[in-house]
Amino acid sequence: MNLLHMKYAVEVARLGSLNKAAEALMTAQPNISRSIKELEADLGITIFQRSSKGMVLTAEGEEFVDYARDILHRIDKIEQSYRDGSHKKRKFSISVPRACYISAAMAEFSKQIGDTPVEIYYKETNSKKTIKKLLENEFKLGIIRYCDSYDKHYKSMLEEKGLVGELVAEFSYVLLMSRDHPLADKPTITYEDLSGYIEIAHADPYVPALSASKVFREELPDKVDRRIFVYERASQFDLLSENPQTFMWVSPASQQILDRYGLVQRVCEGNHRTYKDVLIYQKGYKLTKLDKDFITALCAARRKFIKR
């Protein structure tokens, strides 16, 4: 298969016209027409329906052009990588839940990078997006979080998708709130105590094979009538520190974080749910030195933050 022919087909699909494609590619229209006919003959499919309105993709043509775009994009990335020398850089990428101990590990890890060229990608998101990014090879490592009652769902899904899962931490959520919160000095906090206050919650819980509505019902108690949903951690700290009517369920935070934002963390009586953070990567993936250095920092942060 000729890559040039593939490029011609993608451009005709984009513009819907042989003449416009020829103009964009600065080549003769008969060359493009002949190349596409040769491509169709080689593949044994019809890529375009010719009509008075232009070139229209067939169902087979749409599938082929999707593949072709992906191949051409990858070739462009390879060429760009070698032109600018970025292929020589060490790379590290991880997609994680929003957690103080993980961000602390990332900060400590960043101190160990050294002077050699490196690119690091760190994304905070939910488990569904983390899994997607690993399967699409956009990220090499991920950490997913789920309640232990969903353990069967996640282990089955990881096995099905060819992902390795290694337990990082187990913990129960604590309550995070302002030092000025009316409940901050209460010796024992119950679920009923929280009903009059505003909960800050992450807006994208996920469990495989379960509907979003069911996950929301199980993860967010019904006794709270007012919630603010957020997608990133910076806003949650601002809300908690500035509004003493708010609270949030979180993995344990460090005293440094609490002092920085004027917060306290408290245990809620009756909260017995255990959560798991699990490191995931594709089967067959060989951990790099950067990966191992981050995991070392992660384990140290877990021991510091999570006492169990």
Question: What are the φ and ψ backbone dihedral angles of 54, each rounded to 5 degrees?
Answer: 125, -160
The reply to whether 223 falls in a domain is yes
pLDDT band of 281, cuts 50, 70, 90 = very high
| pLDDT value of residue 84 | 63
Band the pLDDT of 308: cuts 50, 70, 90. Answer: low
Separation of CA 77 from chain center: 21
Question: Are residues 147 and 282 part of one domain?
Answer: yes
| Domain co-membership, 254 together with 199 | yes
pLDDT band at 205 (very low <50, low <70, confident <90, very high): low
Among candidate residues 70, 86, 102, the one where a domain is terminated:
86
Same domain, residue pair 268 and 285? no
Largest CA distance in the chain: 83
User: pLDDT-based confidence at 216, cuts 50/70/90?
Assistant: very low
Contact 178, 263 (CB under 8 A): yes
123: domain range? 89-163+277-305
- Across 10-21, average pLDDT: 92
Give the number of domains in the chain.
3
Q: What is the pTM of this model?
A: 0.67
Reading the block at residue 203, the tokens are 């807006």
Is 103 inside any structural domain?
A: yes
User: How many angstroms separate the CA atoms of 72 and 76, rounded?
Assistant: 6
Q: Are residues 93 and 134 in the same domain?
A: yes
State whether 145 and 288 are in the same domain. Answer: yes
Strands in 198-202's sheet, in edge-to-edge order, are 226-230, 198-202, 246-250, 174-178, 263-266
Does the pLDDT value for residue 44 go beyond 60? yes
Residue 238 domain flag:
yes
Final residue of a structural domain among 86, 120, 151? 86
What does the mean pLDDT of the chain come to?
Answer: 88
Residue 168 lies in a domain: no
CA distances from 5 to 8, 16, 40, 144, 165 (A): 5, 16, 10, 43, 43
Mean pLDDT along residues 258-273: 92
Would you state the pLDDT for residue 291?
A: 96
Residues 295 and 232 in one domain: no
d(CA 114, CA 110): 9
